[in-house]
Structure 1
């Protein structure tokens, strides 16, 4: 009987790991399909940046289309290096990219929409990232526009570290996710929208059963483990987000993984918020190390700008975390009462408003 119990436990662990793999794979595939469909659009729209205001909204729209702040930042770096963009115009695009990248975990939270209780927790866990970035932009964009604060700090840091050299961090997840994701994305190369639909179906399927599995089998053990060890203190949660994202090299994956944990009631919003801030910093560390390896001052400046933007936001809003957390909880309660709100939120905030304002400001 003991042997059977061990086998049953191992089988359950295997199933959970398989579901998590499918979940992460689907996020990678969504990003790959969107990149295939929107990379040309993103590059062309970034080239049209003529002032900091349009730069901010171009950053949001371009990143929402390609589902990757890393790709947007890379395009910005290459255009700055080619003298197509100036650094003062590039910085607001990086700010906008920080907002646009949160679309992935917001889409993930919609997978919980059938259960009001689950959805309220999951949606709040995803949009707290949005509200942090929006508040950070409201704080830093005027300071950047009038005083060039990020340009000054990033430029100074770039001069100090330009000859340090960088390194490429080994990404273990890439070994098991990228081959399958690339195969599927290129299978649907001619019809990327079909690849997006297929990836979303995989995402919602894996999400549903991850939460179902955790609720029925392992929720108490996982809850104790997460709260007692991984997320015990604010600093520990922040460092976990930073280190995990630095290794995985994708804040979309690391922040999206927290959404089902919130939906299942394992993690509270108060625990997730510092983890999200750590993920925000972690995603800039890998880009910075890659930029340092090139030795190009423009690439290093843009990478430092991204890092400093998130560091300042963390220093300011971690002590004031009640503000974004309260905003997320309030908006989540509204969304539970009307399930159209989250869909409209994604379409309006990430696509309609940036598109209209780009045309209007231009």
Structure 2
């Protein structure tokens, strides 16, 4: 079999995956029928998504009662910088930008929070939501080569959102480049009476497990979610590798990730359907870790997910309008601010190659650091998403 490793895969730079490599795992021998592997992949993805939902439910339950999210958002937005930090911290804690943005939209729609104070929180939520796929990349920590690729694929999303904030927050504070067009659009829309898509089947199943099986115990739920996450992650990689032995890798590259606009559209539509950018961005981390996709291929997909996740805020605004809230137009305005922030970030950063390279190079640098010492990756997640925001909250 030595001749199998005489060359490397042109797409990944790694030795090609052989039948012998996959036959070591009894659950997914490469010679199993394609439909068996596809069914196994689907089942593993279901477990993966439910694990993310359970982890989020558990973390929210842990904080419930001791952490007044709504009150915290009202009092911790006195300045743009504090609002940004608050958005990062709250979203990192609940691992859901949808939760943060929906609550912000509701607070704005009821007149509790003014739009100028809410915009930095929305921007911070965009950064905070990337913590989930970065945590997911930690599932590869025992395999250095996979971990290097996975952490780079996860953090490219972080660095893009940071760049968007660094460019657009000053422009918004000086010229209202986001709020002005958002207000014009909100006033031009005559009325919305949709109540949104409601919970997905994954939300409902995770909710049933949380309430009926796990007894609404936050610590137990979070632990179960994390355990399922790592198990699912392991077999996602195995199933994905088994599928790319044939033409699947070429098809994936050709029809989804080969064209940046298609990848961007796919990320947007998928996120709109599941109403969670954390889920859709986390799903591709095993693909990157396995060497099936590269950071550059996945980058536009991540940007599409950024836009797709703004649908949740739009639904929250629609509910406020249909319920006759007096400041409902302001709620719609902040929801549109979220959408425009993500769209403007893509327009300003992605079309220019030298600007587009910045988050990619920074992500690859983090991958190299993590490859040398995995503690760098742990310090990156803990410091950027939790320790630093908490310190800054106390300072400001």
TM-score by length of 1: 0.92
Query: Which residue does 1:135 correspond to in 2?
Result: 163
1:59–1:94 CA contact under 8 A, matched in 2: yes
Instruction: Give CA deviations for 1:272-306 in whole Å, capped at 9, x if unaligned.
Output: 00000001001113432452354221220110010
Aligned counterpart in structure 2 of residue 328 of structure 1, from 358, 363, 368? 363
1:154–1:308 CA contact under 8 A, matched in 2: yes
Report the Cα distance in structure 2 between the residues aligned to 1:42 and 1:337, rounded to whole angstroms: 38
2:261–2:300 CA contact under 8 A, matched in 1: yes
What runs of 5+ residues in structure 2 fail to find an aligned partner? 1-29, 322-327
What runs of 5+ residues in structure 1 fail to find an aligned partner? none
Give the drift of 1:190.
Answer: 5.2
Give the drift of 1:166.
Answer: 4.4
2:244–2:292 CA contact under 8 A, matched in 1: no
1:357 alignment partner, SS class: helix
Which moved further from structure 2: 341-350 or 76-85? Answer: 76-85
Distance 1:7 1:258, change over 3 A: closer
2:271–2:280 CA contact under 8 A, matched in 1: yes
Q: Are 1:160 and 2:185 matched, yes or no?
A: no
Which moved further from structure 2: 129-138 or 214-223? Answer: 214-223
Computed over aligned residues only, the root mean square deviation of the Cα atoms, in angstroms, reads: 2.0
Query: Which residue does 1:67 correspond to in 2?
Result: 95
After superposition, where does 1:1-362 map in structure 2 within 5 Å? 8-38=33-63, 40-48=67-75, 49-163=77-191, 165-166=193-194, 168-169=196-197, 174-175=200-201, 177-186=202-211, 187-189=213-215, 191-292=217-318, 294-295=320-321, 296-319=328-351, 320-361=355-396
2:60–2:218 CA contact under 8 A, matched in 1: no
Give the drift of 1:215.
Answer: 2.0
Give the drift of 1:25.
Answer: 0.9
2:105–2:317 CA contact under 8 A, matched in 1: no
1:249–1:286 CA contact under 8 A, matched in 2: yes
Report the Cα distance in structure 1 between the residues aligned to 2:215 and 2:153, rounded to whole angstroms: 33
1:88–1:148 CA contact under 8 A, matched in 2: no
TM-score by length of 2: 0.84
Query: Which residue does 2:3 correspond to in 1?
Result: none
1:265 alignment partner, SS class: coil
1:53 alignment partner, SS class: helix
1:245–1:279 CA contact under 8 A, matched in 2: yes
Which moved further from structure 2: 226-235 or 79-88? Answer: 79-88
The list of structure 1 runs, each at least 4 consecutive aligned residues, that deviate by more than 4 angstroms after superposition, is: 164-167
Instruction: Give CA deviations for 1:260-282 in whole Å, capped at 9, x if unaligned.
Output: 11111111111100000001001
2:80–2:120 CA contact under 8 A, matched in 1: yes
